[in-house]
Structure 1
Amino acid sequence: MPLVETLPVGADTAQWEVWGTTARVVTVVADKSGEAAALVRAELAAVDEACSRFREDSELSVACRSGRPVVVSPLLAMLVGAALTAARETSGDVDPTVGAAMCGLGYDRDFAALTGRPAAPAVRVFGSPSVRVFDSPDWRSVRLRGRELTVPDGVLLDLGATAKAVAADRAAARVFRELGVGVLVALGGDIATAGPAPDGGWRVLVQDGPEDPSCTVRLPGGAALATSSTVSRTWGRPGELLHHIVDPRTGRSASRVWRTVSVAAASCLRANTLTTAAIVRGQRAPALLGNAPSRLVTPALNVVRRGGWPA
């Protein structure tokens, strides 16, 4: 996953494990990483309480169990709204109603606990024996009117494709707003920045694994970068190797046309929406990405660059 290649002179950093990945906070000003990390941790905790599908007590879990309109917090309404917008903008390629499909594939707990564990024999939701699953769940079946959220009976939402990116955007903005320092927040492959960048910009090494081709990009302050991968979050079950990006049309892990897709954008949410949709679209990804600065790596480790992405 992308990493800050070198720390700018005077910069400070903190990192920890969260959501089955590594959170990293880099501040331009020395001795600010501790305060910045505390703000980021608080932001991530709030997002987790709002929309984790691995917590029985999250707001999202309660809404999914209710089957009727529920008034939710402004944070959850914003997170669901972001997911539905991503679905609309990608014609359903990034669809938050794939939660039951994810559980059916075995991704029914935090990824750190999932690795190496075979899929569950049936769809399970927070200890319940089973749920009825729509044959073809669709994001348009979810209703959000202001803060009133209606999730149809049998639909399990998974906001993972967008909520982590939103969390990165919100956390970076909060650090800059409250501490007044330039900051980079990285949550695995989702990177958001806010405030002034170091001289020459944030130097980010884009490389999914040691065997993958690498590239260094410079992000100006306020820019974001996301990388989606079909090889980083994988787990096995008899006869197949699965990954976490689901094609909503099949309910299966998307075909591995691309090993990774990286996109730079004005927000991490926008960047992640494009990278996730590109993985799902496969060969049709270049048309989706258009002129967005993007980098696609094939399973043979060939690199396709678009939109002025540097060599």
Structure 2
Amino acid sequence: MSLATKAFAGFDIDGHHVRVVVTDPSRVADAAAFARAELDVACEVFSTERATSELQRVNRSFGRTVRISPALADHLRVAVEAAEITDGDVDPVRDASFRELELDGATVRLPGFATLDLGATAPAVAVARVADSVARRFGCGVLVSMADHVAAAGPEPVQGWQITVEDGAERRTVGLASGTVAVTRDAADAVRRVAERAAAAVFAAA
């Protein structure tokens, strides 16, 4: 396999364009199909676009204590940690505060009519997990992007992973190391930090 060659495939999921780039062109179709299936499962947990997602079920709980899956509990712990380290600048709870969220292992209770939005952390965790899974399954380097979050895993191409980052009107190309995540556009520093921190735990555990 030559790491000088890359191939990519793209698809849309929940209104977001997903791009899967691999260092082995012979694996691109299978890698993209695998990534799509994995992201579809992930979105069933944290998506705000799907009325059927577990997150939206919690958002309709209106102050009741509800049981949640280990996957959603994990996402909520990451989101609460992000809120804590940014002193609430990145808060997953809408119309209230993360400090009013009652998260106890397999159950959660939202304050009153508050809702949750995990958009600052869940996509970072998802692309990190999918990139790591694709790299392990297909034995190649991979870059996965979704919802302005991009992760890389496995062997890097000869010139490394190059991504475009947008800050307002400024666009620049930067390198992305395997085992890391970046936010590619118009994100406050706090959002970038929590996304990177959320994904770092994924790669550390791999």
TM-score of the superposition, structure 2-length normalised? 0.83
- What are the Cα deviations for residues 226-268 of structure 1, in whole angstroms up to 9, with x where unaligned? 13427xxxxxxxxxxxxxxxxxxxxxxxxxxxxx769987x95
CA RMSD of aligned residues (A): 2.6
Identify which of 5, 28, 32 aligns with 2:23. 28
Aligned residue number for residue 226 of structure 1: 183
Identify which of 97, 109, 125 aligns with 1:138. 97
One-letter identity of the residue aligned with 2:161: W
| Residues 1:59 and 2:57 are matched in the alignment | no
One-letter identity of the residue aligned with 2:170: P
| Residues 1:160 and 2:156 are matched in the alignment | no
- Greater radius of gyration (CA): 1
Aligned residue number for residue 74 of structure 1: 70
Aligned residue number for residue 11 of structure 1: 6
Name the structure where helix makes up a greater proportion of residues.
2
Q: Distance in 2 between matches of 1:47 and 1:95?
A: 21
- Secondary structure, counterpart of 2:144 in structure 1: strand
Identity among equivalent pairs (%): 39
Number of positions where the alignment pairs a residue of Structure 1 with one of Structure 2:
196
Q: Distance in 2 between matches of 1:94 and 1:40?
A: 28
Q: In 1, are the aligned partners of 2:93 and 2:117 still within 8 Å (CA)? A: yes
- Secondary structure, counterpart of 2:182 in structure 1: strand
Deviation beyond 3 Å, 4+ runs, structure 1: 260-265
TM-score of the superposition, structure 1-length normalised? 0.57
1:266-305 aligned at under 5 Å gives the runs 268-270=195-197
Q: In 2, are the aligned partners of 1:200 and 1:218 still within 8 Å (CA)? A: no
Q: Distance in 2 between matches of 1:263 and 1:218?
A: 19
Single out whichever of 64-73 and 81-90 deviates more from structure 2. Answer: 64-73
- What are the Cα deviations for residues 161-208 of structure 1, in whole angstroms up to 9, with x where unaligned? 211111111111111122221110111421101111112311223246
Q: Distance in 2 between matches of 1:151 and 1:208?
A: 34
1:103-182 aligned at under 5 Å gives the runs 137-182=96-141
Q: Distance in 1 between matches of 2:45 and 2:113?
A: 20
